[in-house]
Amino acid sequence: MRIGVVSDIHSNLEALSTVIEAMGAVDQLWCLGDIVGYGPEPNECVSVLAGTRHLAVAGNHDRAAIGQMDLEAFNPYAAAAARWTMGRLNVASSEYLSSLPTTLVSGEFTLVHGSPRDPLWEYVLSVDVARRSFDYFGGPFCLVGHTHVPSVFTLEGGRVRAERIVGERELALDQPEARFILNPGSVGQPRDGEPRAAFLVVDTERRSACWQRVAYPIERTQERMRQVGLPERLVERLAHGL
């Protein structure tokens, strides 16, 4: 099975459409949460995703958009965007977002937004957090998002290694002695200093995971954000990938 793994779409329809086209034919799309928040097209992104054969878990921004997350924990820009999203969501999108679980298991893979220990909030950025995270899922692979930074953490022989993925990278998954936490990076708001949209393709037959980047028309997303009055800080950061 060929699986397209996406995360942190953040209402960026231009980025999502470009990624779906770039990944080519996949049997399933797996989405690691934060479908909405920050960007200008929440309903359109939900509808594109809901129209594919897919699995999805909830992110903190998805919960905020349906009023199930205290905005106190958000920075002022994120909170402003969350309020805007809340007022914009149609009934179908709200129902869809309300239906999302925080954790899903599909075969050897566990899917969460943050970490398997704290699926809505914890960031797996450090070796310490990664080490603890390995105790909270079964099987060899956990897929996480939330940090917007493509990366892989490997547990092997009791040691945890961290690697940030720069550009494209293929990883062999047929390593029976190792377990992995894989982060595809963000479709709609990359934060690793690289503005191109990020995604991951997992091939369960070839036993491989392949990180990829694709350029999308950022200025179109920015224009729509300005039209609807989203904070300028959020508009600008898309161009820098930070």
Residues within the interface to Zn ion (CB under 5 A): 8, 34
What is the bridge-based pairing of β-strands 28-31 and 54-56? parallel
Closest contact distance (angstroms) between CB of 146 and Zn ion is: 6
Q: Counting every residue, how long is the chain?
A: 242
Report how far residue 10's alpha carbon sits from residue 33's, in angstroms, rounded to the nearest whole number.
9
Closest contact distance (angstroms) between CB of 174 and Zn ion is: 31
DSSP 161-200: EEEE--S-EEEE---TTEEEEEE---SS---SS--SEEEE
Q: What angle do CA 143, 125, 20 make, to 5 degrees?
A: 40
* Cβ closest to Zn ion, residue 34 vs residue 122: 34
Q: Where are the alpha helices (DSSP H) in 27-75?
A: 42-50, 60-65
Report how far residue 16's alpha carbon sits from residue 145's, in angstroms, rounded to the nearest whole number.
15
Closest contact distance (angstroms) between CB of 8 and Zn ion is: 4
* Cβ closest to Zn ion, residue 4 vs residue 190: 190
* Cβ closest to Zn ion, residue 8 vs residue 14: 8
Closest contact distance (angstroms) between CB of 210 and Zn ion is: 22
* Cβ closest to Zn ion, residue 64 vs residue 160: 64
Partners of 213 in beta bridges? 198
* Cβ closest to Zn ion, residue 8 vs residue 192: 8
* Cβ closest to Zn ion, residue 123 vs residue 136: 123
The continuous run of DSSP H or E covering 212 comes out as: strand 208-214
